[in-house]
Amino acid sequence: MSAVKAEIVSRVVALLSGGGAPMLDYLHPAGDPGLFGPGAVCWRVHADFPSMMVGGISALLLQMLHPLALAGVADHSNFRDDLLGRLGRTASFVAGTTYGNRQDAEALIARVRRVHESVVGRASDGRPYSASDPALLTWVHVAEVSSFLRAYVCYVDPTLAVAEQDRYYDETALVAERLGARDVPRKTAAVDAYFEAVRPLLAVSELTREVASILLAIRAPQPLLEPVSRMFLMAGMDLLPLWAQRLSGFEERTRRWGRVARTGIRSVAPVLRWALSGGTSRLAKQRMGSA
């Protein structure tokens, strides 16, 4: 069984490498709680790889509905050739800021802030954009964490209390604010109100459709992973809020295949959890336990 476990781990790593993200020491220093500590709701939510994978795909599709966020990605990354690498870098940042020691978490945030300083330009409609824009940072953050939480509730704990969901939004707002976001919603009701307020700013363009088509055309590095990859992609679309599905043109597809994708994810999730049980959250718990 250990050989099977190692094989699954190696294939997952190949599918979502960190794309150049720094390697972190999650075991040291002993007793360092990082930015949150093991009692945080985000330690629970971010520990589940299957739901985080679905949430990450859904977050990317949601984020790309903002024309200025999309323009920054299009102008300052090789997304056409490295969309999985982008997901991998996001996963590495989330893991590092959630489970890393405080020094490493702060260094990751500072690193991203430096990268953002050079991401400036104009969208196709002539509007200027900057990755350091507080409003744009808030959009990217809310689209991301709401997708992670929605996936966790869908695939791990449908009974998660609203108070616990509020705690999650309150905790994760810390990272967004350290990156430069402002007026970050910290409760479920505030997140819902935020989406209602921002929806008039969202749109679908040819570039949006191109990003979606590239994501849907991605092939797994090994043929055996292809059906699982397809399931995760469809589950990511299915996880989008209904208004976002309609805006993106995914509603009919998710109506037909969403239930199949959800069933498939729930079938493979236990195997992935077993294989990846020694991940960053486990190492961070060992760090706290060795104090």
How many helices (H) does the chain have, and how many strands (E)?
A: 14, 2
Tokens 């802030």 map to which residue?
113
Look at phi and psi of residue 20 and say left if phi exceeds 0, alpha if psi is from -120 to 50, else beta.
left
- CA 271/CA 274 separation, integer angstroms: 5
pLDDT attached to residue 13: 53
Condensed to tens digits (0 to 9), the pLDDT of residues 85-140 reads 777 788 889 999 999 999 999 999 999 999 999 999 999 899 999 999 999 999 99
What does pTM read for this prediction? 0.92
Domain limits, the chain: 28-223
pLDDT attached to residue 81: 67
pLDDT attached to residue 10: 58
Counting as low any pLDDT under 50, the low residues of the chain are 5, 16-18, 291
pLDDT attached to residue 178: 98
Q: Examine residue 29 and say whether the peptide bond preceding it is cis (omega within 30 degrees of 0).
A: yes
Residue 130, classed as helix, strand or coil, is strand
The percent of residues in the chain predicted with pLDDT above 70, rounded, is 87
